[in-house]
Structure 1
Amino acid sequence: MNAVEIEQALSELAFQPFNAAEFPFAFLAAFGNKDTTLKRLRTGNNNASDVAGGVLLRNNIHLAVCASGAVGDTLKALRTSLATTKAKAKFILATDGQTLEAEELVSGETIASAFPDFPNHFGFLLPLAGISTIKEIKDNPIDVRATGRLNKLYVELLRENPAWASDERRSDMNHFMARLVFCFFAEDTDIFNGNGLFTQTVDQMSASDGSNTHEVLSEIFRAMNIKVADRATALPRLPNWANGFPYVNGGLFSGSTEVPRFTRMARTYLLHAGALSWREINPDIFGSMIQAVADDEERGALGMHYTSVPNILKVLNPLFLDDLRAALAEAGDNERKLLNLRKRMARIRVFDPACGSGNFLVIAYKQMREIEAEINRRRGEVHLGSEIPLTNFRGIELRNFPAEIARLALIIAEFQCDVLYRGQKDALAEFLPLDAQNWIVCGNALRLDWSSICPPTGTGVKLAADDLFDTPQDQAQIDFENEGGELYIFGNPPYLGARWQDDAQKSDIQALFAHRCKNWKSLDYVSGWFIKASDYMGHGRALAAFVTTNSACQGVQVPTLWSMLFSDGCEIFFAHTSFKWQNLASKNAGVTVAIVGFGKNIRGARRLISATDDGNSIVKIAENINGYLTAGPNIEVQKTSSPMGPQAEMTFGNTPIDGGHLLMDTQELQALGLSAEQTSRLTRRIYGSSEFIRGIPRHCLWISDGDLAESMSIPAVRNRFDLVKESRKKGGTTAREIANRPHQFQRMNEGQIHSIVVPGVSSENRPFLPVGLIESGSVPSNKCFALYDAPLWNMALIASRLHWVWIGTVCVRMRTDFSYSNTLGWNTFPVPLLTEQNKADLTRCAEDILLAREAHFPATIADLYDPETMPDNLHHAHEQNDEVLERIYIGRRFKNDTERLEKLFELYTKMTAAEKVKPAAKAAKGKKKTS
Structure 2
Amino acid sequence: MSQIVDDLKAFRDYAATLDGDEKGEAQVFCDRLFIAFGHKGYKEAGASLEYRIKKQSAKGTSFADLIWKPRLLLEMKKRGAKLELHYQQAFDYWLNAVPNRPRYVILCNFDEFWIYDFDKQLFEPVDRVSTADLHSRYTAMNFLLPVEKAPIFNNDREDVSRQAATETAELFRLLTRRPGDPVPRVEAQRYLLQLVVSMFAEDIDMIPAGTITSLVRDCLDKGLSSYDLIGGLFRQMNDPIPAKGGRYVGVPYFNGGLFAEILPIELTKFELELIGGEGGIASKNWSRVNPAIFGTLFQQSMDTAERHKHGRHFTSEADIQRVVGPTIVRPWQKRIDAAKTMQELLALRKELSAFRVLDPACGSGNFLYVAFREMARLDIRIMLRLKDMVSAVEFEKQSTLLNSINPRQFFGIDNDSFGVELAKVTLMLAKKLALNEAIDALSEGKGEFTKGTLEFSFHGDDALPLDNLDENILLGDAMFDTWPEADAIVGNPPYQSKNKLQEEVGALYLHNLRERHPEVDGRSDFCVYWYRLAHDNLKHGHRAGLVGTNTIRQNYSRVSGLDYIVENKGTITEAVSSMIWPGSAVVHVSIVNWIKGEESGLKRLYLQEGNRIDEGWRHADLDRIPSSLSFSQDVTKAAAIEANAAGHCYQGQTPGHKAFLVEANAARELLKQKPEYGKVLKPYLIGDDLVGEINSKPTRYIIDFNGLSILKAKSYPDLFQRVENHVLPDREEAVEDEEKRNALVLKAKPKAKVNHHHANFLKYWWRMSYARDAMMRAVAARKRYIVCVRVTKRPIFDFVSSAISPSDALTVFAYDDDYTFGILQSDLHWSWFVERCSTMKADPRYTSNTVFDSFPWPQAPTKAAVKDVAQSAVALRELRRELMEEHRLTLRELYRSLELPGAHPLKDATAALDAAVRKAYGMGKKVNPLQFLLKLNEELVDLEAAGHPIVGPGLPAGFNAGAYRTSDCISP
Q: Which amino acid aligns with 2:465?
A: P
Given that residues 682 and 702 in structure 1 are in contact (C-alpha distance below 8 angstroms), is that contact kept between their aligned partners in structure 2?
yes
Aligned to 2:319: 311
Aligned to 1:235: none
Question: How far apart in 2 are the matches of 1:512 and 1:776?
Answer: 44
Aligned to 1:153: 171
The residue correspondences of 1:19-38 to structure 2 (distance < 5 A) are: none
> Does 1:196 find its partner at 2:210?
yes
Question: How far apart in 2 are the matches of 1:744 and 1:581?
Answer: 38
The residue correspondences of 1:776-855 to structure 2 (distance < 5 A) are: 778-781=804-807, 783-788=809-814, 790-791=816-817, 806-807=832-833, 810-811=836-837, 819-830=845-856, 835=865, 853-854=884-885
Given that residues 311 and 581 in structure 1 are in contact (C-alpha distance below 8 angstroms), is that contact kept between their aligned partners in structure 2?
no
CA, structure 1 residues 181+828, in 2 after alignment: closer, same or farther (shift >3 Å)?
A: same
Secondary structure of the residue aligned to 1:822 is coil
The residue correspondences of 1:259-658 to structure 2 (distance < 5 A) are: 259-271=265-277, 272-286=280-294, 288-297=295-304, 305-331=313-339, 334-380=341-387, 381=395, 384-423=401-440, 429=459, 430-438=462-470, 439-450=472-483, 454-455=484-485, 487-502=487-502, 504=505, 507=508, 510-511=511-512, 513-514=514-515, 517=518, 520-537=521-538, 542-561=542-561, 569-585=568-584, 591-598=587-594, 600-602=596-598, 604=600, 607=603, 609-611=605-607, 615-622=617-624, 625-626=626-627, 636-640=637-641, 642-643=643-644, 649-653=648-652
The residue correspondences of 1:174-253 to structure 2 (distance < 5 A) are: 174-193=189-208, 195-203=209-217, 205-208=218-221, 212-229=225-242, 231=243, 240-253=246-259
Given that residues 161 and 261 in structure 1 are in contact (C-alpha distance below 8 angstroms), is that contact kept between their aligned partners in structure 2?
no
Question: How far apart in 1 are the matches of 2:641 and 2:161?
Answer: 53
Question: How far apart in 2 are the matches of 1:355 and 1:876?
Answer: 52
Secondary structure of the residue aligned to 2:888 is coil
Given that residues 655 and 746 in structure 1 are in contact (C-alpha distance below 8 angstroms), is that contact kept between their aligned partners in structure 2?
no
- CA distances 1:614-638 after superposition (whole Å, capped 9, x unpaired): 633112112x734666788896455
Aligned to 1:685: 683
Question: How far apart in 2 are the matches of 1:662 and 1:191?
Answer: 66
Aligned to 1:912: 938
Secondary structure of the residue aligned to 2:268 is coil
1:255 to 247, 255, 261: 261
Alpha-carbon distance, 1:122 to partner: 13
749-758 or 430-439: bigger deviation: 749-758
Given that residues 358 and 489 in structure 2 are in contact (C-alpha distance below 8 angstroms), is that contact kept between their aligned partners in structure 1?
yes
Q: Which amino acid aligns with 1:317?
A: G
Alpha-carbon distance, 1:309 to partner: 3.1
The residue correspondences of 1:616-765 to structure 2 (distance < 5 A) are: 616-622=618-624, 625-626=626-627, 636-640=637-641, 642-643=643-644, 649-653=648-652, 665-673=664-672, 685-689=683-687, 691-692=689-690, 695=693, 697-699=699-701, 747=777, 749=779, 754-760=784-790, 762=791
CA, structure 1 residues 401+603, in 2 after alignment: closer, same or farther (shift >3 Å)?
A: same
CA, structure 1 residues 601+152, in 2 after alignment: closer, same or farther (shift >3 Å)?
A: closer
CA, structure 1 residues 672+562, in 2 after alignment: closer, same or farther (shift >3 Å)?
A: same
Q: Which amino acid aligns with 1:672?
A: L
CA, structure 1 residues 270+853, in 2 after alignment: closer, same or farther (shift >3 Å)?
A: farther
The residue correspondences of 1:19-98 to structure 2 (distance < 5 A) are: none
Q: Which amino acid aligns with 1:219?
A: G
- CA distances 1:127-179 after superposition (whole Å, capped 9, x unpaired): x9x99x999995652111212221332222233376555xxx32221111111
Question: How far apart in 2 are the matches of 1:555 and 1:880?
Answer: 34
Q: Report sequence identity in percent.
A: 20
Given that residues 418 and 427 in structure 1 are in contact (C-alpha distance below 8 angstroms), is that contact kept between their aligned partners in structure 2?
no
- Unaligned 5+ runs, structure 2: 1-33, 42-69, 72-99, 106-114, 116-126, 388-394, 441-450, 610-615, 709-713, 729-759, 950-972
Q: Which amino acid aligns with 2:304?
A: E
TM-score computed with the length of structure 1 as normaliser: 0.66
CA, structure 1 residues 886+392, in 2 after alignment: closer, same or farther (shift >3 Å)?
A: farther
Question: How far apart in 1 are the matches of 2:260 and 2:680?
Answer: 80
Alpha-carbon distance, 1:443 to partner: 1.4
Question: How far apart in 2 are the matches of 1:700 and 1:215?
Answer: 69
> Does 1:142 find its partner at 2:160?
yes
Question: How far apart in 2 are the matches of 1:284 and 1:296?
Answer: 22
Q: Which amino acid aligns with 1:155?
A: R
CA, structure 1 residues 517+643, in 2 after alignment: closer, same or farther (shift >3 Å)?
A: same
- CA distances 1:359-413 after superposition (whole Å, capped 9, x unpaired): 2112222222222212211211598511122211111121122222222222223
Given that residues 640 and 828 in structure 1 are in contact (C-alpha distance below 8 angstroms), is that contact kept between their aligned partners in structure 2?
yes
Given that residues 807 and 825 in structure 1 are in contact (C-alpha distance below 8 angstroms), is that contact kept between their aligned partners in structure 2?
yes
Given that residues 490 and 544 in structure 1 are in contact (C-alpha distance below 8 angstroms), is that contact kept between their aligned partners in structure 2?
yes
Secondary structure of the residue aligned to 2:851 is helix
CA, structure 1 residues 684+201, in 2 after alignment: closer, same or farther (shift >3 Å)?
A: closer
Given that residues 164 and 260 in structure 1 are in contact (C-alpha distance below 8 angstroms), is that contact kept between their aligned partners in structure 2?
no
Q: Which amino acid aligns with 2:166?
A: G
Alpha-carbon distance, 1:340 to partner: 2.9
Question: How far apart in 1 are the matches of 2:222 and 2:858?
Answer: 79
Given that residues 292 and 299 in structure 1 are in contact (C-alpha distance below 8 angstroms), is that contact kept between their aligned partners in structure 2?
no
CA, structure 1 residues 832+330, in 2 after alignment: closer, same or farther (shift >3 Å)?
A: farther
CA, structure 1 residues 659+320, in 2 after alignment: closer, same or farther (shift >3 Å)?
A: closer
- CA distances 1:527-558 after superposition (whole Å, capped 9, x unpaired): 22123224424x77643222111223312334
Secondary structure of the residue aligned to 1:755 is strand
- Unaligned 5+ runs, structure 1: 1-71, 80-89, 92-103, 233-238, 457-486, 709-714, 895-899, 924-931
CA, structure 1 residues 190+319, in 2 after alignment: closer, same or farther (shift >3 Å)?
A: closer
Question: How far apart in 2 are the matches of 1:843 and 1:807?
Answer: 22
Secondary structure of the residue aligned to 2:196 is helix
Alpha-carbon distance, 1:817 to partner: 6.8
Secondary structure of the residue aligned to 1:611 is strand
Alpha-carbon distance, 1:583 to partner: 1.6
Question: How far apart in 1 are the matches of 2:276 and 2:685?
Answer: 58
Alpha-carbon distance, 1:522 to partner: 1.4
Question: How far apart in 2 are the matches of 1:510 and 1:789?
Answer: 41
CA, structure 1 residues 823+349, in 2 after alignment: closer, same or farther (shift >3 Å)?
A: closer
Q: Which amino acid aligns with 2:225?
A: N
Given that residues 203 and 285 in structure 2 are in contact (C-alpha distance below 8 angstroms), is that contact kept between their aligned partners in structure 1?
yes
- CA distances 1:101-145 after superposition (whole Å, capped 9, x unpaired): xxx99979999999xx999989999xx9x99x9999956521112
Alpha-carbon distance, 1:768 to partner: 2.1
Aligned to 2:800: 774
TM-score computed with the length of structure 2 as normaliser: 0.63
| RMSD, aligned CA | 5.6
- CA distances 1:18-49 after superposition (whole Å, capped 9, x unpaired): xxxxxxxxxxxxxxxxxxxxxxxxxxxxxxxx
CA, structure 1 residues 228+112, in 2 after alignment: closer, same or farther (shift >3 Å)?
A: closer
Q: Which amino acid aligns with 1:543?
A: R
CA, structure 1 residues 876+310, in 2 after alignment: closer, same or farther (shift >3 Å)?
A: farther
Question: How far apart in 1 are the matches of 2:142 and 2:826?
Answer: 38
Aligned to 2:111: none
Question: How far apart in 2 are the matches of 1:724 and 1:153?
Answer: 48
Given that residues 755 and 773 in structure 1 are in contact (C-alpha distance below 8 angstroms), is that contact kept between their aligned partners in structure 2?
yes
Paired residues, number:
743
- CA distances 1:693-726 after superposition (whole Å, capped 9, x unpaired): 55561236999xxxx9xxxxxx997976999999
